[in-house]
Chain A
């Protein structure tokens, strides 16, 4: 059991970091995983090619919510290049627990929301044209 719900996962679940919403975000995106009922929304504020601020809200299992919390910590202040390069493998490594195929969706939902939100973006803020 302790292998699965490691202390830091439970900690992020019970005390999520960067939880909430941003006023006037540059990017906001929400998705759910209808099979589980997990739902994540991520708001981003961008400045000079960096993630100036990030918040998430959501509901769902400990894995999905802890993953979102952990992800926001990783990308806050990071360059967009770094965020784009952030891979599934990296996300799973951060979670550090072996996930069954069904639970994989939970673990990767936050990253999917982030990527879809960012790639859906047409124009970076501050860029003219």
Chain B
């Protein structure tokens, strides 16, 4: 988290910790050694997806090559090993976000599926005509559209908390949107388009004061910040494996056991039942009730390895190092004439969205790509954010703990080149 103007950086906050050994850490990520058009890859698109360390790749390879089998059903030894590894990963996730019980951890495809699960299972049973769902103006489409679908199905109404010009949620407005008709609040912990860290602790406190459950979209938070679902006191927390250095196709829905237990299944099939007859089917207990069909076993085991790896590096150190990178990137980009940063919240994670006068974001992206620099250009699945700031698209550099100051400097040189060409 940085504070405005870099007045308070990681250094001033925590004293000087031992140097973060980024060069050693980079050795853990094979992709970082790649060349793009003959130039070293500078990967600054971590908010889209993160790179994978050797240990994740090796863990998945080991599963596939030595104990691949299905879980929860075989009587043979391979299946026992696979089941054990799968369930160990669940406990791993539980510990990582400090959930009270491992059955509160549901494996899903990703953040998107986690939110759809809550919308369809919790939403369709608890939300009806005229009820209200509150989201913020900076949500990813995956935390907008599932609620719009639910509203169409039930006649509920979506309410949107506005944001200010810095990209911060207006808490006063939020309070007025919390009414006796509010049935659910769903907000991003960290905005993927702006980098804003939302005051979710306060958002949750205010909602729960009047008995309204809160879903937190943690897709962009888990890679950068220590998350403690019990300290937050949220009801649901969703994140994606691929953004925390794990594989794609796997994600997590945390839900309070009390709520999950009362919710109907999201999908039907194998694994989610206790017994099936044509007259009556008895659903399985948590978490299996929500895990119909053969899961992404390798993905789950790989995600466990990724979280172990991240713990090894240390999230506190990650946050502090990324703060320094963010301060540097923010200062260096703001100093370029014609560059405007979109998203200048006081509390930010290491995401820098920007526009360049007279140049479309895609042209920035293409020129940088020719320099070996990967950024995202577009609307970042947050079209309402683009509309709020009156831009068709932005360029976005999103930094991970394996990025360096030198890479930020390469980005700055690249942007100078863009301006030379187009302006």
Contact = CB atoms under 8 A, between A and B. Distances in A.
From A4, A59, A62, A63, name the one whose CB has the most chain B CB atoms within 10 angstroms.
Answer: A62
Interface string A39-75: 1000000000000000000011111100000000000
B392 A37 contact: yes
Contact of A37 (B360, B370, B422): B360
B386 interface: yes
Nearest to A32: B392
B393 interface: yes
B344 to A, nearest CB: 21
B422 A60 contact: no
Contact of A36 (B392, B421, B422): B392
Nearest to A37: B392
Contacts of B392: 36-39, 59-60
A61 B363 contact: yes
How many B residues touch the partner, as a band?
10 to 19
Interface string B374-390: 00001100010010000
Interface in A68-126: 103, 106
B366 A4 contact: yes
Chain B contact residues, majority secondary structure: helix
How many A residues touch the partner, as a band?
20 to 34
Contacts of A106: 362
Nearest to A1: B370
Given A10-B422, A36-B392, A37-B393, A5 B386 contact: no
A5 B366 CA distance: 9
B360 A61 contact: yes
Contacts of A36: 360, 362, 378, 392-393
B367 interface: yes
Given A13-B422, A35-B378, A60 B367 contact: no
Interface of B: 360-363, 366-367, 370, 378-379, 383, 386, 391-393, 421-422
29 contacts: A1-B367, A4-B366, A4-B370, A5-B366, A5-B367, A5-B421, A10-B421, A10-B422, A34-B383, A35-B378, A35-B379, A36-B360, A36-B362, A36-B378, A36-B392, A37-B361, A37-B392, A37-B393, A38-B392, A59-B392, A60-B360, A60-B392, A61-B362, A61-B363, A62-B363, A63-B362, A64-B360, A103-B366, A106-B362
